[in-house]
Chains A and B, each alone.
Chain A
């Protein structure tokens, strides 16, 4: 069965510093996709970044980058130059097989302090 594991329930980072949020996954599929979403206290889910299993380059979107290590089955999110507005829950997710469904990890609560 496919599974997403986020081992950090909470993380603290000082403003302007970089932070890495961990995500490991388990799948027997050769083709899969990995996602990161941000959920502020308001509750909506905001798409941040996507990495396909066959993508050779690590995905980047502005201050977000995905450190994809296929052999280790990890897809860590790196946020550079943290801002106070980055404080939120962050969820790692994986596309389930060849379907268009996502399975989610338990999330990491990030707190950015001045």
Chain B
């Protein structure tokens, strides 16, 4: 059973506000991810972290930023939310064993910017 948590589950906010989406995992995984998903569409990687103090942008350009000060914590921040940021944001962590890569996802944050 995966232990990865995202808060809030739903967020409705006005344009121009600064928001932080929280993601925490208790599995000690080094690699963590943020994916963005529009309704009924595929997931797009927006941020990736190899470990503490290591982050890089994903394939989909995003105005959000991330930080990785602790292994278990990988928050995503939008400095000034806009309606175009309305989407679902899914956090994940992973480990690899002899059977391959395993990604574990949180429940997601559904963000609506008015």
Contact = CB atoms under 8 A, between A and B. Distances in A.
Q: Do A and B come from one complex?
A: yes
B58 A47 contact: no
A26 to B, nearest CB: 15
Identify whether the interface residues of A are mostly helix, strand, loop, or mixed.
strand
A41 to B, nearest CB: 11
A106 B41 contact: yes
Interface residues of B, number: 27
Interface residues of A, number: 23
B102 A50 contact: yes
A65 to B, nearest CB: 16
B108 A101 contact: no
B45 A101 contact: yes
Contact of A102 (B41, B99, B103, B108): B103
Given A43-B110, A45-B90, A100-B94, A33 B100 contact: yes
Interface of B: 31, 33, 40-45, 48, 58-59, 88, 90, 92, 94, 96, 99-108, 110
Given A45-B103, A103-B59, 9 more contacts: A33-B101, A44-B106, A44-B108, A45-B92, A50-B99, A50-B101, A91-B42, A100-B31, A106-B42
